Amino acid sequence: MSRPPSGRPSPRTAARPAADPAPRPSGTRTIPGPRARGVHHVLPLYNRLEALHRSLHYPALASALAAFALAGSGVLIIRLVQRQTGTTGLLVGLGLALLPLPFVLGAVAWLNQTARVPLRHTLFCLGWGACTATTVALLANGWASDFLVAHSARGETLGAEFATPLIEELCKGAALLLLLLPLRRRRRPAAAGADRPGDGPDAEPSEPLPPVPRPRADAPPTVPRIRRPPAALPYLRPTVPPHGGGRARARANPRTLAAGLVLGAITACGFAFTENALYLGRAFTDDQQSRLDSISLGEPPTLRDFDSTVHTFVLRALLSPFAHPLFTALTGLGLAITLTTGRRWLARLAGPVGLVLAISLHGVWNAAAGLGTDGFLLIYGLVMVPAFATLVCFAVWARARRSRQPAAPDR
């Protein structure tokens, strides 16, 4: 074969990409180490769950699958509760558990005026907490309790104070992950005046582009398929203050923080409803059996036969209707800060710290139940009341701060 004339590269050589990358624009530098991999190396689990979420391209299909899963878990949890309480106990427990629910949902709806979380998301969180989270937590708590009792003399105490808070908060926090993941990625704002990829201090190092094949002359014209990048949820969009120059750092706005509180609290409302129905139905069944035993012994029935039901109702429905919403609201607040803040150290710490605080406060609350009346009232006054007051003040601040900001339309 004859060699091609000098000055003209052969077709094989022309189709081969160059070995050296294209020169980088001036003013940029290579970012070494893990920083070049993007911000998602902080939470690698988000990438895997994000890929699963992206596989559901059709919203109708995702909604149908979510409704089917919630309905299946709802039927299962009703069956599990009915086995422990009986049919009469189940109906009584559901009726008594409904009494404090409007007040808690009303408080969450008041805060949602600041967050403006869509109704479909609140219904999903409510159904997840009432059906899926309680089903998984009920089964996992039983297995963990049996394991700890069989291998430790203090297995019952360890299960109530450590295993149960961990399992329940993880089950409730899973709904927040599924809803917060449509944010897709935490986008760091580029520097002012950086209009091209590769400009600005936060730009990733450019890579050599593969050669674009030339279309054939007889090939039909094709329209390129452009896929729009996923947009952030409106209520989880960070605020980027305008700057004349330098680096613009994103920060979480009051709406974002209120959205984390609303998502966590509404999930816990559903969880608390089903849990209250279980405990109240079980207490009513025990009281009913005790009353039948007293009648068989010839003792006249009295109102004191239902002391256990009244005590459970006062403890769970009157004194602590906001206990579970308080715990999970901390998890939602931490995740909202993690996904929207522009500070790397805060993004690493906010989510885990919020979950740890929720688990710790839940464990303290469960431990207070075994300290007697005096110990319970002490923990209630020194821990639960200040924590709840702090959360209420934070919600009022977020609402007042949001009302002073100009309203922006949701994209």
Residue 297: φ, ψ to 5° = -85, 0
* Angle in degrees, 0-180, between the axes of helices 101-115 and 385-404, rounded to the nearest 10: 40
Asked if pLDDT for residue 29 goes beyond 60, the answer is: no
Of 178 and 33, the one with more pLDDT? 178
Query: Measured at the alpha carbon of residue 360, what is the angle toward residues 354 and 366, in degrees to the nearest 5?
Result: 135
The pLDDT value given to residue 214: 64
pTM of the model: 0.72
Tell me the pLDDT tens digit for each residue of 172-198.
999 988 887 654 444 444 333 444 444
238-241 long-range CB contacts below 8 Å, 24 or more apart?
A: 238/340, 238/341, 238/342, 240/189
How many CA atoms lie within 13 Å of 197's alpha carbon, on the beta-carbon side?
4
Read off the pLDDT of residues 263-300 as tens digits, 9 standing for 90 and up. 999 999 999 999 999 999 999 999 888 877 776 666 66
pLDDT tens string 91-133: 999 999 999 999 999 999 998 988 889 898 999 999 999 999 9
Q: Are 402 and 258 in contact (CB under 8 A)?
A: yes
Half-sphere exposure of 62 (CA within 13 A, CB side): 14
Could you tell me which of 283, 279, 328, 256 has the C-alpha nearest to residue 104? 328
The more confident residue out of 45 and 275 is 275
Q: Which has the closest alpha carbon to 170: 102, 271, 70? A: 271
3-state DSSP assignment of residue 239: strand
Q: What pLDDT does 171 receive? A: 95
CA angle (123 as vertex; 121, 126 as ends), nearest 5? 110
Burial class, 45, CB count within 10 angstroms (exposed 0-12 / middle 13-18 / buried 19+) = exposed
- Please state, as a whole number, how many other Cβ atoms lie within 10 Å of the Cβ of residue 14: 9
Taking the C-alpha atoms of 177, 178, 180 and 186 in order, what is their torsion angle to the nearest 10 degrees?
A: 80
